[in-house]
Each structure stands twice: as structure tokens, then as C-alpha cells.
Amino acid sequence: MKHVIFLFFMFCCSIQGVSAELKDNGWEIDTTTSVLTINSQTPLRNYKFEDYSYYDRKYWTNYSDKYEFLRFGNNIDSIGDLSFLYCNNIKKISFPDKLKKIGNNSFDGCSKLDSIYIPEGTLYLGESAFSRCNKLKFIFIPNSVCRIGSFAFSRCGLIDCTIPKSTKMINEGLFFECFDLQHVYMHDSVFAIDDWAFYKCESLKEIDIPISVEKIGSAVFQGCVSLERIYFHYTDFCTIHIKKDFCEGLDTSKIKIIVPKGLKKKYTLFLNENLNNDFLIIEEND
């Protein structure tokens, strides 16, 4: 009998120990449902490699094998830099309604994420925020997002993506090495596509460049081996700056440039003078 009581006592102690381990100031893990809940803004501060604060990130990272689902309290409005870097067991995230910012590298390396819904009202997605989420097939980005940082979706598994209306620029390497990406829709609010934006997007067959785009950077489509069609809508070339190497390494003779009706000669002159290429230029509806 004493032996049974002793075992029961030890069992209770172990339960208490586990509970203490999986709950701290501002967060808790329910191991039954595999849910990590962040209830406070305090643990979501910005972490850095430079001052070694990243290595003090002992909150939920020590127990990354205990949870698959991540949710936030409604009082949370920002997610700090590096907060969930390499938390590679997370499959689903429920973001708070009041969210305004997702920091740099916040979910970088979360390799089991398969879909993301960013809530309306979010303003900023940081650099490499979802980089190396190689199973991420779908992301919804609301029109409230006005800036998406460089390499935010690099090496993701995205198949298609719609850039929100408030976003003015496709930043450097945004879809860098997104091998499965097939389609990207951009609104007429975009004025620039920066270097390496679609680098090695090997499944991308066509791209529609909005008439608002005034700058296309270097190596934007380098490595896009399936690219067949680029749609341009310009009628005036005075403010257009396209780098000569925007299709670096591609056989441009196999790429069709689709242009507005009646502007084939004008495009031929512009492309030959500025890009030194042999694109096949075709007018719309031909």
C-alpha cells in the first residue's frame, strides 16, 4: 500500500513538473491538442543574432516537438523578428484580428506550414518572414498590406499568389527559388519589380506586367526555364527602365512578348534598342 501511495505521489509530482515546463509568462502549450497559445505581447519581442538575444529565446522553442498548431490572443498586434524561426513542427497558424506586423524571419524555416491566412488590417510582412516554408502552398494576403519585405516567400512551395492592392513594390527576391510557382497576379498599384524577384521560379509560364510598373530590375526572371509569355501594356516608354539582364540566361527567342494592338513596331524598336534581345513580339488577339 505504501508503495502504491509513493508511486501515486511521484506521478502527481511529474504531472506538476510537466505543467510548469509547458507554461510560462505569456504562453502555454496544451499537449493534448498540440496547441501553443501566445497570450501576451511580451514574449514576441524582436530577437537578434547580433546581440545573441536569439540564443536566449527559451520560451516555446525548447518544446517545438510538443505542438503543431499556433494561435494568438486578441491583444497581440505584432510578431517580432525571429520569433518562430525553425519551429518546424508548426502546421497551422491562427493569427489575431488586430495583427499589424509580422517581423523579419518570423516563420523562416517552418517547413510544415501548408497554408496561411493573414488577417485584414495587417500592414507589413517582414523580410524572409515565410522563407523556406517549402510546404506552404497557399497564402492569403489582404489588401491592407502595404509592404512585403525582400525574400519574404523565398524557397516556399507556393503555386500562385495575389499581390495586394496596397503593395507598391515587388521587393528583391520576393519569390526567389519558388520552384512550384505558376501564377502571380499584380495590381496596377505596383511600380517596381526588384532584382531576382522571380529567380528560378521554374514552373512560371507567363507573367502579366501591370502598366503601372516603371522599373524591372536585374535577373528578375533568371532561371525561369518554363517562361513562355510576358504581357506588357505600355503605350509610352518615356519612364520605363528595364535592365538588359532581366531575363538573364534564358533563350529569349522562345519567349513571346504580348503587346497592345497596333504597337508591335514600337515595341520592336524599344526592345531592340534597350535590351538587345530576340523576343518574339505578338500583338494581343493575334
Q: Check if the beta carbon of residue 217 is closer than 8 Å to that of residue 195.
A: yes
Query: What's residue 54's pLDDT?
Result: 64
Count of CB atoms situated within 10 Å of the CB of 158: 24
Residues pairing with 207 in the sheet:
230
Query: Percentage helix, strand, coil, to 5, in the chain?
Result: 15, 20, 65
Query: What's residue 272's pLDDT?
Result: 80
Q: Check if the beta carbon of residue 22 is closer than 8 Å to that of residue 29.
A: yes
Query: What's residue 53's pLDDT?
Result: 63
What are the extents of the domains in the chain? 2-229+239-251
Q: Check if the beta carbon of residue 154 is closer than 8 Å to that of residue 177.
A: yes
Residue 252: strand, helix, or coil: helix
Query: How deeply is 187 buried, as exposed, middle or buried, from its count of CB atoms within 10 A (0-12, 13-18, 19+)?
Result: middle
pTM of the model as a whole? 0.88
Query: What's residue 18's pLDDT?
Result: 39
Query: What's residue 15's pLDDT?
Result: 41
- Stated as kind and residue range, the H or E segment containing 18 is helix 2-21
Query: What's residue 6's pLDDT?
Result: 40
Distance from C-alpha of 192 to C-alpha of 170, rounded to nearest angstrom: 6
Query: What's residue 27's pLDDT?
Result: 87
In the structure grid, which three cell numbers stand for residue 55, read together? 540564443
DSSP 8-class letter at 177: T
Count of CB atoms situated within 10 Å of the CB of 3: 7
- Write out the CATH class of domain 2-229+239-251: alpha beta
Going by C-alpha positions, the residue among 181, 178, 227 that lies closest to residue 205 is 227
- Stated as kind and residue range, the H or E segment containing 275 is helix 264-275
> What is the number of residues in the chain?
286
Going by C-alpha positions, the residue among 114, 126, 122 that lies closest to residue 143 is 122
Phi, psi for 148 (deg, rounded to 5): -120, 120
Q: In a structure prediction context, what are the per-residue pLDDT tens digits for the chain, which is 286 residues long?
A: 544 444 444 444 444 443 435 777 788 999 899 999 999 888 788 877 766 666 566 567 778 888 999 999 999 999 999 999 888 899 999 999 999 999 999 999 999 999 999 999 999 999 999 999 999 999 999 999 999 999 999 999 999 999 999 999 999 999 999 999 999 999 999 999 999 999 999 999 999 999 999 999 999 999 999 999 999 999 988 889 999 999 999 999 999 999 999 999 999 888 887 787 789 999 988 6
